[in-house]
Amino acid sequence: LDGILHRYHLKPNEVAMVGDRLYTDVKMAVNANALGVLVLSGEATLNDTINADVQADVIAENVAEFGELLIAAKNE
């Protein structure tokens, strides 16, 4: 993620890492101080998040739902 931030001159608070794994995708976001979005349409389940060492900032059922959340947040 750091390479993307550097290449596109972005700050961590300007990006989100979206993925279906807590221990890779969300952990990458946490390590980069970016928004970590867990989608439950792949490997992880909601139960996996309960005692996980890494916590997502946002949990969505799938990427489409996350898109809807982005649109709603933009309109606030």
**Domains in the chain with CATH codes:** 2-74 (3.40.50.1000)
CA dihedral 40, 59, 47, 31 (to 10 degrees): 100
Give pLDDT, residue 51.
Answer: 94
Give pLDDT, residue 20.
Answer: 98
Give pLDDT, residue 56.
Answer: 98
First-residue to last-residue Cα distance in the chain: 28
pLDDT in tens, 23-65: 999 999 999 999 999 999 999 999 999 999 999 999 999 999 9
What predicted TM-score, i.e. pTM, was given to this entire model?
0.92
How far is residue 11 from each of residues 19, 31, 40, 49, measured CA to CA in Å?
A: 19, 13, 26, 26
Which residues, in sequence order, are bridge partners of residue 37?
18, 58
**Strand pairing of 16-19 and 58-60?**
unpaired
Give pLDDT, residue 18.
Answer: 98
Give pLDDT, residue 12.
Answer: 97
